[in-house]
Structure 1
């Protein structure tokens, strides 16, 4: 496991972009962290690894899945509002998770039973209003 501390949103985005550069088609990245920890900012940096700008990223809290078409498709899940795994199945989550793009998931514990076996986990912990500890495992 690797841990880093980022002292700003820009540092978080830079770390996420660097991480994203090591991802390939079919990868699933699970982001753990409390509300306000910086998961969406991580995604904003992550998509830059695929030729996208951070401003394409919006929280998919109500739509559950946003698709970003970059060098590879990036599927951004926000499962916060899901109460049952069945809800994810009904919107076709498995097609994304086992498709040709890269999936990055906020609140993955809500759909854990349908996640691929080889997911990459990232935990973001807010140390204070600007610093974040990011653990990659």
Structure 2
């Protein structure tokens, strides 16, 4: 198996062809296939051909391939409404610990992704403090 793939990972095994997929597209950096437990017809997964648990661990050249592929899938689905979903970590609802992106059609109110969004309103001063903290971390990383 390639050096950046893992023998015990379901998605890595799909990448090398050891587990069958309903492949839609493939590039040097990504594999695109139908989800076997779709939320709506055409629910698609896009996975980088690089094993990592979370998106922040994936090299940029792999990530740069993802959104153009998601756009192609979204256009091919022909639905006006859709979600692009990517989860990192168990409490963020990640179930397969190989980074993956969902393209989920939303053809009507009942099919597709359902989201309950719990908004907070911390106020401008609290948001400015968060902004400063994040900007400091970004500057430290550069």
Higher relative contact order (CA 8 A, sep 6+): 1
Instruction: State TM-score, norm by structure 1.
Output: 0.30
Larger Rg computed on CA atoms: 2
Instruction: State TM-score, norm by structure 2.
Output: 0.29
Structure showing the higher strand proportion among its residues: 1
